[in-house]
Amino acid sequence: MAQQYPEWIWQNGEIKPWKDATAHVMSHALHYGSSIFEGIRSYVTPEGAAIFRLTDHLKRLYQSAKIYDMVLPYSQDQLAAACREVIRKNGYSAAYLRPVAYRGLGGFGLSADTPIDVAVATWPMGPYLGPEALEVGITACVSSWQRFAPNTIPAGAKAGGNYLSGQLIAREARRLGFGEGIALASSGLLSEGAGENLFLAFDGVLHTTPASASILAGITRDTIKVLAREDGIEVVERDIPREYLYLADEVLMCGTAAEITPIREIDGKQVGSGKAGRLTRRLQELYFGLFNGKTQDKWGWLEPV
Ligand code: PMP
């Protein structure tokens, strides 16, 4: 079936038809991975459509830009307005938003100071890891590919080039018949999923890998930390050896796209009861509660479209 695309996209200051948002084949980003981006969701809430943690996502976009000396020609407020505008123009309420900034056409050298082009796309998105994933969980494998070492490519920037690593991990998992791949860091300790952070539960305590394990410190990861602590659940950030994946009572993956997805089996070994565990269920209830009105948004995370 032919892919259906949204009608409108925002690029370099204007809303235009999707097909007109093009880049030159000699754009720096296409050759060298020099793009930075965000993935954001909007939800339907009792108060109307809201973009979840828009300000925090855009803040991370500007942090990624800083790492790569990219000066965006728009302010954070202008990009926030662009995100709202492109959702409204397409007539969406629950959607995925993809702001991207990239080195465009303007010189052939690696260190060329090219113009920075910016676009914001949006499209409807259901559960990222499959329709049943949130309910029954997914299978995962530990990848034969490690994440890049901290002194090679900064994992803390959400840059296009980083996702060569994610593609190797996710494609290997898919080829082997698993729902998602999990990577170790160059230290040999656990890092994160191809495009998701990890939480493991032991005796009622949540454990997650630290920034030093070559992870992107996710906004969903932060949301879980805040919601869990608020609910009296202890959360620790710590180095985690691979075998703890097999011994944990529960393991979950989280991210804007993946939301909170239980993992029921890793490397062919059942995780806990093989079903979404008590803490995973509670975190899902609290997380999705933000959007159905059952969890009070004390933090101003829901930003109206
Ligand atoms: N790690 C990687 C590599 C990712 O691509 C993502 C998705 N952006 C995450 C973690 C989760 O981040 P967030 O919760 O901010 O979406």
Does 158 qualify as catalytic in the annotation?
yes
Ligand 1 atom closest to Cα of residue 194: 3
- The tokens for 205 are 């305590």
Which pLDDT band, with edges at 50, 70 and 90, does 226 fall under? very high
Angle subtended by helix axes 76-90 and 54-67, to nearest 10? 130
Q: From the candidates 158, 269, 275, 298, which is the catalytic residue?
A: 158
Reported as type and span, the H/E element at residue 208 is strand 205-208
195 Cβ inside 6 Å of ligand 1: yes
Asked if pLDDT for residue 88 goes beyond 90, the answer is yes
Please give the torsion angle defined by the CA atoms of residues 162, 180, 284 and 250, in that order, rounded to the nearest 10 degrees: -110
Give the pLDDT of residue 99. Answer: 98
Q: Is 197 in the pocket of ligand 1 (CB under 6 A)?
A: yes
Burial of 30 (0-12, 13-18, 19+ CB in 10 A): middle
Q: Is 203 left (phi over 0), alpha (psi -120 to 50) or beta?
A: left
State the DSSP H helix or E strand holding residue 192, giving kind and residue range, or none if neither. strand 190-193
| Contact of 79 with 120, CB cutoff 8 Å | yes
For the stretch 4-44, pLDDT in tens is: 899 999 999 999 999 999 999 999 999 999 999 999 999 99
Q: Is 6 in the pocket of ligand 1 (CB under 6 A)?
A: no
C-alpha–C-alpha distance, residues 260 and 270, integer Å: 18
How many angstroms does the Cα of residue 195 sit away from the middle of ligand 1?
5
pLDDT band at residue 131, thresholds of 50, 70 and 90? Answer: confident
CATH 3.20.10.10 fits 133-292, yes or no: yes
Task: Verify whether ligand 1 is closer than 6 Å to residue 42 (CB atom).
Answer: no
Q: What is the mean pLDDT of residues 191-211?
A: 98
The β-bridge partners of 100 are: 37, 119
Residues with Cβ < 8 Å from 224, sequence gap 6 or more? Answer: 199, 206, 208, 235, 254, 260, 283, 287
Q: What is the pLDDT of residue 235?
A: 98
The pair of three-digit structure tokens given for residue 182, joined into one six-digit string: 């999990």
**Which of 196, 221, 283 to mutate to test ligand 1, by most ligand atoms within 8 A of the CB atom?**
196
Q: Is 117 in the pocket of ligand 1 (CB under 6 A)?
A: no
Residue 1 reports pLDDT greater than 70: no
Distance (angstroms) between ligand 1 centre and the Cα of 106 equals 30
Task: Kindly report the protein residue whose alpha carbon is nearest to atom 5 of ligand 1.
Answer: 195
Query: What is the arithmetic mean of pLDDT over 123-150?
Result: 92
Length of the chain: 305
Is the CB–ligand 1 distance for residue 180 below 6 Å? no
What distance in angstroms lies between residue 146's CA and the mean position of ligand 1's atoms? 17
Distance CA 13, CA 40 (A): 19
Complex confidence, ipTM: 0.99
Domain ranges of the chain: 8-123, 133-292
Q: What's the average model confidence in pLDDT over 60-78? A: 98
User: What is the DSSP track for 60-126?
Assistant: HHHHHHHHTT---SS-HHHHHHHHHHHHHHHT-SSEEEEEEEEE-SS-SSTT----EEEEEEEE---
Place 93 in a pLDDT band, splitting at 50, 70 and 90: very high
Reported as a pLDDT band with limits 50, 70 and 90, residue 130 is: confident
Which residue is it, tokens 């720096």? 28
* Segment 235-293, tens digit of pLDDT: 999 999 999 999 999 999 999 999 999 999 999 999 999 999 999 999 999 999 999 99
CA of 107 to the centre of ligand 1 (A): 31
How far apart are alpha carbons 175 and 194 in whole angstroms? 14
- Picking from 236, 231, 240, the residue whose alpha carbon sits closest to that of residue 283 is 231
Work out the pLDDT band at 136, boundaries 50, 70, 90.
very high
Quickly list H helices, the chain: 28-32, 54-67, 76-90, 133-136, 163-175, 219-230, 244-247, 278-292
Cα 108 to ligand 1 centroid, rounded to whole Å: 31
Residue that the structure tokens 């056409």 belong to: 105
pLDDT per residue over 137-181, tens digit each? Answer: 999 999 999 999 999 999 999 999 999 999 999 999 999 999 999
* Phi then psi dihedrals of residue 283, to 5 deg: -65, -40
Structure tokens at 53: 């943690």
- Tell me which of 3.50.50.60, 2.120.10.30, 3.60.20.10, 3.30.470.10 is the CATH number of domain 8-123: 3.30.470.10
Q: Please compute the mean of the pLDDT values over residues 204-232 and round it to a whole number.
A: 98
**Average pLDDT of the chain?**
97
CA nearest neighbour of 37 among 277, 274, 216, 172: 216
CB 203 within 8 A of CB 233: no
